[in-house]
Amino acid sequence: MKITEMSIPNAFRIVPEIHEDERGSFMELVRSSLLSEAIGYPFGIGQANCSLSSRNTIRGIHGTTLPPGQAKLVTCVRGSVLDVAVDLRVGSPTFGQYEMTRQDAETGVSVYLSDGIGHAFVALTDDACVNYLCSEKYVHGTMIEINPLDPDIGIPWELDGPPVMSDKDAAAPGLAAAADAGMLPSYEECLEYYASLRPAATA
């Protein structure tokens, strides 16, 4: 597999190698040792989630406060989605910027988003199934929601109809309002948290 950092620091794209024969295909979606080496600290799983979405459904932009944080490894395992990483870390050199990744079951492309990087996607097909491996379990009251249609972020969603969204996402504040309200983590806070996850050096 090939793991590369996106234009947003601490966000990674994972492209597996696909092996095909008369039976079909096989791919190794992620290897924890390789991902841990790329991100600079051990990759652990505290919770696994799965969502099913109809075409034109937008989920996100979602993040989690620190502590406890909740980094995500996101993979589309059925259908197709346009996945979006958004830098929510106040003070980051790429604050408010986004990067998009097309994910589908055929390619097995995944994204890993460290704490402080918001996540969203739009379903490009009906019955799109997305799997999330999360570094921490969900804690009520720690979710950060940013409006995915915020014009200041300006994500070009590939919609062929009206967006389907939860009431909570539709009513979420824009990025600037969330920053002014102190809802977002700082870049320095996130870097310190990443450093705390690294194994202690041994003599």
DSSP code string of 17-76 = PEEEETTEEEE----HHHHHHHHTS----SEEEEEEE-TTBEEEEEEE-TTT---EEEEE
The active-site residue out of 19, 98, 132, 187 is: 132
- pLDDT band of residue 170 (cuts 50, 70, 90) is very high
Residue range 86-133, pLDDT digits in tens: 999 999 999 999 999 999 999 999 999 999 999 999 999 999 999 999
Categorize the per-residue pLDDT at 200 as very low, low, confident or very high, splitting at 50, 70 and 90.
confident
How many residues make up the chain in this entry? 203
Share of the chain above pLDDT 90, in %: 97
Residue 78: what pLDDT?
A: 97
Which among 62, 98, 119, 193 is annotated as catalytic?
Answer: 62
| Residue 177 pLDDT | 98
Is there a contact between 47 and 144 (Cβ–Cβ < 8 Å)?
Answer: no
The reply to whether 62 belongs to the active site is yes
Q: Is the pLDDT of residue 163 over 70?
A: yes
| pLDDT, mean over the chain | 96
Query: 187 catalytic, yes or no?
Result: no
Cα 53 from Cα 125, distance rounded (Å): 8
Mean local confidence (pLDDT), 53-81 = 97
Q: 55 pLDDT exceeds 60?
A: yes
Per-residue pLDDT of 8-46, as tens digits, reads 999 999 999 999 999 999 999 999 999 999 999 999 999
Q: For residues 152 and 138, give the distance between their C-alpha atoms in angstroms, rounded to a whole number.
A: 28
pLDDT at 203: 45
The sign one gets for the Cα dihedral 130, 133, 137, 143 is negative
What pLDDT score does 202 carry? 47
Query: What pLDDT, on the 0 to 100 scale, is given for residue 201?
Result: 56
